[in-house]
Structure 1
Amino acid sequence: MENSSKEEALKAIEHFILSHEKKMAKKDNLAKDLLVNHGYTENKLSLTQLHIMALINEYPNASNNTFLSKELSISKPAITKAINSLIEEGMVLSKKKENDQKAVYYTLTNSGQQLAAVHDRMHQIAEDRYIQLLDQFSDDELELIIKFLEAWSNQL
């Protein structure tokens, strides 16, 4: 690849990163708007807490600190802090299994299930937008995009 092509690619990456940061701020606002529209106050829950509730909803028999930490790539203490807040808010219940009295597992209350559904809706909206974007590319172009994104992820 020529230097000018590399420079153009570098500029495109820089533009992408800056645009992404701006859009993430808007996405946070959209998430808060969606929560408010469903009757929840905007400052009560973080996106991490919404992700936790979605995982508990999807994997009710596996949802303990270790599982959630691994799935979200965040520390167990961070999971504990988020879970404790969710328990205080009445979104999550903790319990021990009869055959495993060591590990604490989590289930959602009715309110937690409703919020998990809101979170799933937010993800569906995002996925639909990505699919529309990807529909613009051929299979060969998508393979190149995948290769680039994997290489970029390995650089992080």
Structure 2
Amino acid sequence: MEKSEQIMVGITDFNHKLLLSRKPIMERVLSGFSLSEISLIEYIASYPETNVTQIAAALYMTRGAISKLTKKLESRGILNSYQKNDNKKEIHFTLTVAGQEVEDRHRKLHQTFISNDKPVFQSFSDEELDIVIRFLNCYNQHLDQELK
């Protein structure tokens, strides 16, 4: 098998195992929320005053899917929508107190995952990690071009 194939198989295997190991924990801690909903909450927490188009682009989802998710989360009291006085066309979002509590649990969960993974990362030199980062950035740029 060529190195490129080994890398792609490794990435696929890695992704499956990561989801398999972390999904049950996330489902327990963030019970009642889908991964898409959590991603949406995380994005709104990170980018206040964001709108549907920005969220859709960032999460690689359609605007219709984002509209559906935001309406669902708004009805559950997780986020609020609003329009700015200077632009009544765009709908923006902020988290409610309940939404921020969900994001806080999510962030703490990620911190636990990072802490648990630390020994793996510490087993590599900075130079080796820089090569991995460079590869990931390069491959992401390649995928961005394919998606255009």
* TM-score bin, normalised by smaller chain: 0.7 to 0.9
Give per-residue Cα distances to partners, 1:112-150, cap 9 Å, x unaligned: 111011121222223334443222111222233233334
1:81 aligned to 68, 73, 92, which one? 68
List per-residue Cα deviations over 1:41-89 (Å, max 9, x = no partner). Answer: x3x311121121122223222x210121122222211111111110121
Structure 1's unaligned 5+ residue stretches are: 36-41
Query: Of residues 47, 52, 57 in structure 1, which corresponds to 2:35?
Result: 47
1:14 counterpart = 2:9: yes
Which whole-Å CA distance do the structure 2 matches of 1:122 and 1:81 have between them? 26
Larger radius of gyration between Structure 1 and Structure 2: 1
- Aligned to 1:74, the other structure's residue is in SS state coil
Q: Is the 8 A contact 1:56 1:107 kept in 2?
A: yes
Given that 1:93 and 1:106 are in contact with CA atoms closer than 8 Å, whether structure 2 keeps it comes out as: yes
**Aligned length, in residue pairs:** 143
Distance of aligned partners of 1:78 and 1:135 in 2 relative to their CA distance in 1, 3 Å threshold: same
Q: SS in structure 2 opposite 1:60?
A: coil
The residue correspondences of 1:1-156 to structure 2 (distance < 5 A) are: 6=2, 10-11=5-6, 13-35=8-30, 42=31, 44-61=32-49, 63-153=50-140, 154=142
1:70 maps to a residue whose letter is A
Backbone CA RMSD of aligned residues: 2.5
In the alignment, the residues of structure 2 paired with residue 72 and residue 16 of structure 1 have an alpha-carbon distance, to the nearest angstrom, of: 20
Question: In 1, Cα distance between the equivalents of 2:97 and 2:62?
Answer: 27
Q: Normalized against structure 1, the TM-score is what?
A: 0.75
Unaligned runs of 5+ in 2: none
TM-score of the pair, normalised by structure 2: 0.79
- % identical aligned pairs: 24
C-alpha distance in structure 1 between counterparts of 2:111 and 2:53, whole Å: 26
Maintained 8 Å contact 1:51/1:119: no
